[in-house]
Amino acid sequence: MKALWQIFRRILREQRVSLIRGAFLGFVVLAMGAALLGLSGWFITAAAAAGLAGTGAIFDVFRPSAMVRFLALGRAAARYGERVLTHDATLRALQSLRLQLMEGLMAAPYHRITRLRGAQALNRLTADVDALDGVSLRLVLPVLAGVSGQVVAFFVLWWLVGLPMAAWIFIGFVAGSGVTFWRTARKTVPLSRRAEAAGQALRARLIDLIRARRDLAVYGRLQDQVETTLEAENRRLALRRQQDRAERRAGGALQMLGVLVSAGALGLGLSMAQSGTLAPSFAALAFFTTLSLAETIAPLRRAASDLGRMTEAARRVARDVAVPPPMLQGTAMMHGGPLRIQSVTLNRGVSAVPMIEHLSLAVMPGETVALTGPSGVGKSTLLLAVAGLHPVAKGRIMIGDTPVLDCEEAVLRKVVTLLPQRSALMTGSVADALRLAAPDSDDETLWQVLEAVQLASVMRARQGLETPIGVRGDALSGGESRRLALARAMLRRPAVLLLDEPTEGLDDTTAMRVLDGVRGFLPHTAILIAAHREAEVEFSERIVPLM
């Protein structure tokens, strides 16, 4: 529930005025509904009693009938205003929440971003945020309006009818609906959580099926993936059916509660009227008011059904919206220079287990240094630390005279460029992919960098710079995608270039030509390579083994 309140506070902070007005109109709707039925019951009964007593000719029918019309029209207008205000405010708040969620995901630590699947991020931005519209519309505002309506009705009935009648109606509705909500939530919360998990599994498996359909078909696993996707969908539908049954039972229980409280109010009113302690018209007022107060507990049915889904979505969104402080908060300027790693200790992931201890290293401008060692020894982690994407447990990393952690993020990105093991290519042309790094580059510069990475002849044989690269670079081979990502990094012309497996997917001859092209295009750049191939080691001027 804590996460739900966090999300509601964010929504309230975004649209405070509209939500307060909408909540007030929601209360007005319930109050006018209760007053309308109560007044109608009193009016009909009082008019009948006046007719039986022979005083119907002098009974005032104009003011009560005018009030009935006013309440009926006013209730309809208030309901319309409440719907417009609350729904508009909620949709605007969720729009802002989506942007905050995206900012939070983008600012998350690197180790967490690498574990975040594309389908998961998409689900946070769509399904999870969509589920949160019920926090205000189906949970908080209806409950507040219902409780307020019950409290006001209690005091009004106490004043007009008497304490026993008011207490019976108030306690019956509040206690009965509270028990019904609690019992329903106990059943539906785990069901809705499991249904949401099944829905997420369905989306992830379906996206995997679409993206990897060719590989799945080649290896004969396409039908297996289809079956696992359908299995998740069948499980989701089965859980939704159980949840719907529980919701219908809750609705039936709330209706029976309304009937029970209304019957009790009717019996108590008849008893009081027969004993002469209450006029029949006011007994009718109490009974009809009780009928209308059943509207105050009706929203609990849907709220109890969706509580688990909303809670899980709120927990995930609240965690991701809480933007972590950026790793680089300094304001120092950086103008390049040698890369110095001074007695650095790096821990594995977010644990306290050291991966690299007391490492010292210097890479001068124009020098190429290769990091070697078995897989998992920390070569990639060290590159992340130099790029400011992995925390340094001890020691410091400097470029020129400026520590990396003291440098502003935007400035550091102009000086240091990292080519990780996996680089993303978006749909578009070769020119689009390259200009993502250097928007002002002319065609001549783009051809120069393509020539450096041995891609110029390949692209000329196709459509030149307008060659489409497909979704996620699917139109290119693995080696071509890798070289295009390398060319994009080179266009940044950084003072320090960090390369992780830069020649993956290339033969040795092409790998050496590409590395020579990198150095020719960036003659004064300090290059640090996480070397996994002999060609990368042979190209480097110095080798630093990590054990």
pLDDT at 184 over 60: yes
Q: How confident is the model over 457-469, as a mean pLDDT?
A: 86
Structure tokens at 32: 């006018």
pLDDT tens digits, one per residue of 116-131: 666 667 767 777 888 8
The CA distance from 265 to 289, in Å, is 10
Give the whole-angstrom CA distance, residue 498 versus residue 281.
Answer: 86
How far are the Cα atoms of 171, 369, 546 from residue 382, in angstroms, in the given order?
Answer: 66, 13, 10
Measured CA to CA in angstroms, residue 261 lies from 165, 172, 179, 265, 291 at distances of 10, 6, 15, 6, 9
- Report the sign of the C-alpha dihedral through residues 335, 339, 341, 342, in that order: negative
Summarised one tens digit per residue, pLDDT across range 243-253 is: 889 889 999 99
In the chain, % of residues over pLDDT 90: 17
Report the alpha-carbon distance of residue 217 to residue 219 in Å, rounded.
Answer: 5
Q: Which two tokens stand for residue 280?
A: 């029949």
Look at residue 460 and give its three-state secondary structure: helix
What pLDDT is stored for residue 424 in this prediction?
78
Question: Which range scores top for mean pLDDT: 113-117, 212-216, 517-521?
Answer: 517-521
Domain boundaries, the chain: 2-321, 339-545
Structure-block tokens of residue 26:
């929601």
The model's pLDDT over 43-65, given as tens digits with 9 standing for 90+, comes to 888 777 777 666 655 667 778 88
CA distance 476 to 433: 13
Question: Class of 339-545 per CATH?
Answer: alpha beta
Q: What's residue 175's pLDDT?
A: 93
Confidence of residue 84 (pLDDT cuts 50, 70, 90): very high
Task: Supply the pLDDT for residue 280.
Answer: 85
The pLDDT of residue 302 is: 85
* Confidence at 322, pLDDT banded by 50, 70, 90: low
CATH architecture of 2-321: Up-down Bundle (1.20)
Statement: residue 350 has pLDDT above 80: no
> What pLDDT was estimated at residue 316?
81
- Tell me the angle at which helices 163-211 and 280-293 cross, rounded to the nearest 10 degrees: 10
- What is the C-alpha to C-alpha distance for residues 167 and 253, in angstroms, rounded to an integer? 21
Which among 520, 320, 336 has a CA at the least distance from the CA of 417? Answer: 336
Average pLDDT score over residue span 273-298: 88
Alpha-carbon distance of 306 to 116, in angstroms, equals 26
β pairing state of 394-399 and 339-347: antiparallel
For residues 314-332, give the mean pLDDT. Answer: 64
Average pLDDT on 103-128 reads 71
- Residue 324: per-residue pLDDT: 53
Residue type, 82: E
**Mean pLDDT, rounded, for 89-113:** 80
Which comes out higher in pLDDT, residue 248 or 329? 248
Bridge partners of 345, per DSSP, are 394
Residue 90 pLDDT > 80, yes or no? yes
> pLDDT tens digits for 406-417?
777 778 888 888
Q: Find where tokens 């594309």 sit.
A: 118
